[in-house]
Amino acid sequence: MVLLRSVPPPTEGVRHEQGETTAVLDGKGLGTGTLYVAETRLSWFDGSGMGFSLEYPTISLHAISRDLSAYPQEHLYVMVNAKLNDEMQENAHDDEDEEDECEGITEIRFVPSDKAALESMFSAMCECQALHPDPDDEDSNGDFDGDEYDVEEAEHGQGDIPSFCTYEEGVSGLRAEGQATLQRLEGMLAQSVANTFHMAGVRTDETNGEFDDAVEVDAGSTVAGQFEDADIDH
Amino acid sequence: MCISVLQLFYSFFKSLVGKDVVVELKNDLSICGTLHSVDQYLNIKLTDISVTDPEKYPHMLSVKNCFIRGSVVRYVQLPADEVDTQLLQDAARKEALQQKQ
């Protein structure tokens, strides 16, 4: 509920009270009255009982406007995220063509005769806004169960990711395609490493004269040869 | 949003105080200004603000100090060179791990 027409101005928890304040709602002047910046709600009443109150969660933003070329008087600007009509009641949302979620906004200007009070009015509103945070929504991050990427599992290698192929299981566990890929990759690795080191047992295309006495072996047979004693067949 | 992720972004925004940002609200209004302060609910205070699309939104004038309720913020556009995305990513990941424990 945005406006509470029959609710009187608050008497408790009033952080700031500013008399001689004109209220302008969407460009329509409502006369001069008193602004109450209370912890429970923001209220304005004109002294004859007519007025309105705003709930803080409905106030999108508030600001001090000092630019006289934009508006002829310095004032406190308040943007309410609801559409309010002349009868001070929240407008029923009739528009069926409305695509957006937002229901429209209302701009209210509170113009105090004492411009020096604007800072206090602004600060009081800031304090009161902080007292009305939105209730804890459902976790907007969602529940990362099931199909979502599980950070913990991935980082501890306990997820659905395939375990590493070890030599004990043997490259014979790979299909021909896989073995070919493995050899190609090892070759690539050997290429780049051989530029700095010469790894025994790894076949490289580059023959370094410095290591002529090295035994050149076939990478394909190296694996089996090196781990002959390994239990390959499971 | 769970509390500690809120804390994470609270700290993150605190580090951006003094920088120019553009805050886009859920009602499509965009406000450009200097980040003055932020609180634990990610309510944002901007100074020297201007509306990035005044023709579309003539409502907002060139006000000075502005307080934006955290819950109406859709996006906060940040200067790219001020954000260490890797750091933020790592921190968020750590936070997510914390949540699981």
Residue corresponding to tokens 């003539």: B58
Q: Which residues in A lie closer than 8 A to residue B70 (C-beta atoms)?
A: 133-134
Dist CA A21 CA A28 (whole Å): 14
Cβ atoms A117, B54 nearer than 8 A: no
On whether any CB of chain A is under 8 Å from the CB of B90, the answer is no
**3-class state of residue A188 by DSSP:** helix
Range scoring the smallest mean pLDDT among A5-9, A199-203, B52-56, B67-71: A199-203
What does the alpha-carbon distance between residue B7 and residue B40 come to, in Å, rounded to a whole number?
7
How high is the ipTM of this complex? 0.86
Identify the pLDDT of residue A229: 63
pLDDT band for position A97 (cuts 50, 70, 90): very low
Nearest CB to A81: which of B1, B27, B43?
Answer: B27
Closest CA of chain A from B40, distance in Å:
9
A226 has pLDDT over 90: no
CA distance A125 to B42: 16
Which pLDDT value is given to residue A194? 55
H/E segment holding residue A128: helix A118-130
Q: How far apart are CA A36 and CA A51, in angstroms?
A: 11
Nearest to A129 by CA among A16, A19, A24, A37: A37
Check CB contact under 8 Å for B69 and A61.
Answer: yes
Contact yes or no for A140/B1 (Cβ under 8 A): yes
| Contact indicator for B68, B23 with CB cutoff of 8 Å | yes
Residues of chain B numbered 43-82 and touching chain A (CB < 8 Å): 43, 45, 49, 59-72
pLDDT of residue B60: 62
pLDDT digits (tens, 9 = 90+) for A126-161: 999 999 998 865 444 444 344 445 555 555 544 444
Give the mean pLDDT of chain A. Answer: 70
Q: How confident is the model at residue A71 (pLDDT cuts 50, 70, 90)?
A: confident
Strand ranges in chain B using DSSP code E only, listed in sequence order: 20-25, 30-38, 44-51, 66-68, 73-77
pLDDT at A31: 93
On whether the CB atoms of residues B22 and B81 are closer than 8 A, the answer is no
Quick one: pLDDT band at residue B58, thresholds 50, 70, 90?
low
